[in-house]
Structure 1
């Protein structure tokens, strides 16, 4: 806990400087031909719909099961555009809340949003799972991209025409040093400059795992906190909200793994 508090204090001090940079970056970039070409050059995403369904990526198909993710997508777009936010962290208080599965579903929901480009980057360098959920076998990791050893153009994959992914093929040996390095910040700025996404989502490790993910929050505009119904205690949700709010804006809290019946629609939502 003491180490986390030290990380919070350090990140708060650095956030004052970083906020000006994020404000400058949030100006809508002009889409150039080179951006179009960069997206077109990304390796196409290989779909296995049967595996996706078994791994609870239900938003890969339109329909009732995808509706909650489409609603979440719309709320994210509204808040992001209202506040001029472009970088969104997806985080949870503890492991097992379903943050990565939520992002995987959101990616397919955004792919149906035809007037936006979105990047989904797996920066959970300690326990990467996004590639497993989406049945992908990357040759490199985002750690290689952030270190400058691999270009994102040679690593990223593209879902449809508007959603890009950056996966990991294994855990990184030094996630703290990578995520908090200037090289990582420069690499992320370069990716945004080359691909001009409307939104970039970062899947980062749970808040209780380490302090590097907490400090990384100073590099984003806001965060969505994913909590698990009947699993994540309210105390942990409150703590997570307080920790995140000290470093960036809290876009909202999503209660995942929650089943209820809507009186209006009589739908079962999960």
Structure 2
């Protein structure tokens, strides 16, 4: 196993050494301009959230405040890295299912909605399940696979939260997600969405790395990724192997330990003292 990990580490270093510079520049993350894309945003139907779900489904960043501090800190660190590197596309993934990445994606979206000068599009590309749609309790007749296959436009499918966040959800499972996520149609769909809506940040909820090959072809199309593990559930070995796999496909922005039951008392005290 050590020999395998060393080989993966060497491959990762070689990939990083020959990887091209980012196409985007830090100037890309600027206040929202007054352009035609604003009309495209305003034309989308607004996401309706059942207030009872906020506590039940752990949408702690929806209203902001002290409860959202952890996600707000993650959001701020994420934005700083985006600006420093000129990145736009971020994937959220995990070693296996059950690490809470869809819940994290939803909370990051709500946290980012309070950054009024940034526009964010959140897309659920974990097409074997309806993670974000179930967490947000949304129903519909189509999924992102239908958008990619041209059965429905993104404009007809997407939902808007506030003035600066858009969700692309899945309302049914897809039989062949790996092929769809590796297709030229997927690349063209993302390019079209970016051209029409001009987001500053695109956040993708992607399939677990060790459950299938669904995300392996797609992750080369993002600028970076966050790897999520579940406290007291995901082993260190699984996180280590998943991080090495992820590093072969894209830049690893960081590793997030989710579902933590214990946090420092000083954290809450310091936040409340401002």
1:73 equivalenced with 2:45 (yes/no):
no
Match of 1:37 in 2: 39
Give the TM-score of the pair, scaled to structure 2: 0.87
Match of 1:222 in 2: 224
Give, in whole Å, the separation in 2 of the partners of 1:186 and 1:21: 22
String of CA shifts for 1:74-116, please: whole Å, max 9, x gaps: 0110111111110000000111000000011111111111110
1:92 equivalenced with 2:94 (yes/no):
yes
1:251 equivalenced with 2:253 (yes/no):
yes
- SS for the counterpart of 1:227 is strand
Match of 2:152 in 1: 150
Question: Any residues of structure 2 matched to 1:50-65 within 5 Å, and which?
Answer: 50-65=52-67
Give, in whole Å, the separation in 2 of the partners of 1:251 and 1:79: 8
Give the TM-score of the pair, scaled to structure 1: 0.88
- SS for the counterpart of 1:49 is coil
Give the 3 Å change call, closer, same or farther, for CA 27–212 of structure 1 in structure 2.
Answer: farther
Give the 3 Å change call, closer, same or farther, for CA 27–189 of structure 1 in structure 2.
Answer: farther
Match of 1:3 in 2: none
Structure 1 unmatched runs, 5+:
1-7
User: CA offset at residue 148 of structure 1?
Assistant: 1.8
Match of 1:102 in 2: 104
Give, in whole Å, the separation in 1 of the partners of 2:165 and 2:131: 18
- SS for the counterpart of 2:150 is coil
Give, in whole Å, the separation in 1 of the partners of 2:160 and 2:112: 12
Match of 1:164 in 2: 166
Give, in whole Å, the separation in 1 of the partners of 2:187 and 2:38: 23
Give, in whole Å, the separation in 2 of the partners of 1:174 and 1:149: 16
Instruction: Name the count of aligned residue pairs.
Output: 255
Give the 3 Å change call, closer, same or farther, for CA 263–193 of structure 1 in structure 2.
Answer: same
- SS for the counterpart of 1:121 is strand
Structure 2 unmatched runs, 5+:
1-7
Match of 1:131 in 2: 133
Match of 1:122 in 2: 124
Give, in whole Å, the separation in 2 of the partners of 1:26 and 1:74: 15
User: CA offset at residue 137 of structure 1?
Assistant: 0.9
- SS for the counterpart of 1:150 is coil
